[in-house]
Amino acid sequence: MPPTVSVVLGSYNRRPFLRRTIESIRDNGATIPMEIIVVDGGSDDGSVAWLTRQKDIVTIVQHNRGTFRGRPVERRSWGYFMNLGFKAAQGTYVLMVSDDCLLVPGAIDAGVRQSEQGLEAGRPIGAVAFYWRNWPDEREYRVGRTLGGRLFVNHGLYRRDALEAVGWIDEDRYRFYHADGDLCLKLWDAGYTVEDCPGAYVEHFTHANAAVRASNLERQKADWAAYVERWRGRFEADHGQGDWITRDFHDPANTVDRFPKTERARLRLRRSHTMALARAAAARARPSSR
């Protein structure tokens, strides 16, 4: 049977996390046909070899760093490599998730159910946003509202025909950030809606790869400026950036235990070190008793 859901994620040098992400997809309890598509950016940490051994994964390798034959490899945008997976997807729905995330059990079925029920009720749903949090820094889960107060998808489900109708992700305007918000605004602009799904949750690991994250952050301000300019006069920045709808949720499966143990230990050590530095700084700032 053709898949109902195509799970698409991009990855680069995060093999320990990638494996856990894939496990959380496989073990999500989905009752519908599904495929998994991973677009790898040319990892050299063993990810590609591992991926090609997984017979339930379609692997696309798009080298996005380094040099080849004495020339630098062209660095392509986030939209470019995600579109490789989106366009290859055969499912009615495309589920976008990151390689440093875990899907809480039941998320896939909940997302599809939310969309199908909405469509049956006459709502023109183009995407469904899953609730997510940065673990272990945050307790509540959230979905984002972007320009004009419109919901957008950080992690979640798109109708593939809606993606095709609005021309997929913008590959040229943004290098890394805000292309997801732009995609959702294109859906809103075309008459589709984006809904949140209270039954679907995602755990995102804080600081999975600090070096890669730092290089991406260099582009954030320029991407935000391009984003605001793109939608000026249509969806104004009246809600700014970082407007969230939050929910409390207790995960009976304790999904965060699936994150790599060594990375969890490293994160705890880093957090303890940061807290110790903060305490030392506070002690130095206190006035002397003499």
CATH number of the domain that 242 lies in? 3.90.550.10
The pLDDT of residue 269 is 59
- Give the number of other Cβ atoms within 10 Å of residue 238's Cβ: 9
In our burial notation (b when 16+ CB lie closer than 10 A, e otherwise), range 48-87 reads bebbeeeeebbbebbbbbeeeeeeeeeebbbbbbbbbbbe
The pLDDT of residue 237 is 62
Global pTM reads 0.89
Q: Is residue 275 part of a domain?
A: no
Q: Is residue 67 part of a domain?
A: yes
pLDDT at residue 276 above 90?
no
What is the Cα–Cα distance from 137 to 145, expressed in whole angstroms?
21
Query: Average pLDDT, stretch 120-137?
Result: 97
The pLDDT of residue 277 is 47
Name which residue leads in pLDDT, 101 or 281. Answer: 101
The pLDDT of residue 289 is 39
* pLDDT tens digits, one per residue of 30-71: 999 999 999 999 999 999 999 999 999 999 999 999 999 999
Q: Is residue 125 part of a domain?
A: yes
* pLDDT tens digits, one per residue of 163-200: 999 999 999 999 999 999 999 999 999 999 999 999 99
pLDDT at residue 79 above 80?
yes
CA distances from 243 to 16, 96, 178, 197, 234 (A): 32, 21, 14, 17, 18
What is the Cα–Cα distance from 38 to 30, expressed in whole angstroms?
19
Contact 22, 11 (CB under 8 A): no
Task: Report the mean per-residue pLDDT for the chain.
Answer: 90
Q: Is residue 215 part of a domain?
A: yes
Residue 239: domain span: 5-260
| CA proximity to 12, closest of 91, 103, 82 | 82
Q: Is residue 136 part of a domain?
A: yes
Provide the token pair at 244.
């969230």
* pLDDT tens digits, one per residue of 88-106: 999 999 999 999 999 999 9
Query: Average pLDDT, stretch 13-31?
Result: 97
Q: Is residue 282 part of a domain?
A: no
pLDDT at residue 280 above 90?
no
Total number of domains in the chain:
1
CA-based radius of gyration for the chain:
20
Q: Is residue 274 part of a domain?
A: no
What is the Cα–Cα distance from 217 to 210, expressed in whole angstroms?
10
Instruction: Kindly state the helix (H) or strand (E) to which residue 17 belongs, with its residue range.
Output: helix 15-26
* pLDDT tens digits, one per residue of 198-208: 999 999 998 76
Contact 45, 25 (CB under 8 A): no
* pLDDT tens digits, one per residue of 259-274: 998 776 777 656 654 5
| CA proximity to 139, closest of 28, 257, 248, 47 | 248
What is the Cα–Cα distance from 69 to 59, expressed in whole angstroms?
24
What is the Cα–Cα distance from 229 to 235, expressed in whole angstroms?
10
Q: Is residue 40 part of a domain?
A: yes
